[in-house]
Amino acid sequence: MRVLVFRHSPSDGLGLIGDALDAHAIPYEYADLYASERPAPLITEADGLVVMGGSMSANDALPFITREIEHIRNAVAHGMPVLGVCLGAQLIAKALGARVYANHVKEVGWAPVRFSAAALRDPLFTDMTGDQIIFHWHGETFDLPAGAELLASSEACRNQAFRAGDRIYGVQFHLEVTPAMIAEWCHEDEHCAADVRPSIDPHAHFTRTKHLAELIFGRWCRLVKGQISACAAVRANRR
């Protein structure tokens, strides 16, 4: 049992997703395609795929972006649970044939997210009611892939979360962040304007973020384990 992770810089790690994987005893491996032209571990040998955020665009003509999109398509074709965050959600949307483009504003900082009626029926977001204050850091957005359900929106960006099929998830917001990650992003991002950086308190809503992350990413971990059990049952029946 193992989850493969595409990240796009050392500071764009799993964060609270890693905590959930550890809590559910699911090993994971970073495949940093941005840093090396080595072949990625075989997608078919993993039990789940997580695609993290990054400062680049899903539309950039970068070899590793092209490779990741093909790996995402392969994972989807094999029925694997896939989770994308920010750029990762945009890459999943693009892999599924949807458009990625500039949002009308850059959304940076803590802001409310409202979950849709479809989210109330969703295995990951089933009890998300009212507005939840979640961290954001993006300048692009995406159209929903064909057949996908919209799960969440914000005032600045309509498509904040979606599910395609029963195991492909994209989330534009950053529920995985820790205060240390936010502080590092503010320090290193050349696009973080001086008048924006002082207004971001990395700790402002972290207690609630941690609770929601444990809940939602924990459910995704159970989805991965359920997929593993289902595959094992199919193999047993074929013997």
Burial (CB < 10 A; 0-12, 13-18, 19+), residue 127, is: exposed
Question: Which of 68, 107, 140, 176 does the annotation list as catalytic?
Answer: 176
221 has catalytic annotation? no
Nearest 5°: phi and psi at 158?
Answer: -65, -45
Joined together, the tokens standing for residue 27 give: 């090993």
Question: Which of 86, 140, 157, 221 does the annotation list as catalytic?
Answer: 86
Helix orientation angle between 16-23 and 206-238, rounded to the nearest 10 degrees: 50
CA–CA separation, 67 and 63 (whole Å): 6
Nearest 5°: phi and psi at 48?
Answer: -170, 160
Question: Which of 71, 107, 174, 221 does the annotation list as catalytic?
Answer: 174
In the chain, what's the furthest Cα-to-Cα distance? 64
174 has catalytic annotation? yes
CA–CA separation, 21 and 126 (whole Å): 20
CA–CA separation, 2 and 113 (whole Å): 31
Instruction: Name the H helices within the chain.
Output: 16-23, 63-77, 87-95, 179-188, 206-238
Catalytic residues: 86, 174, 176
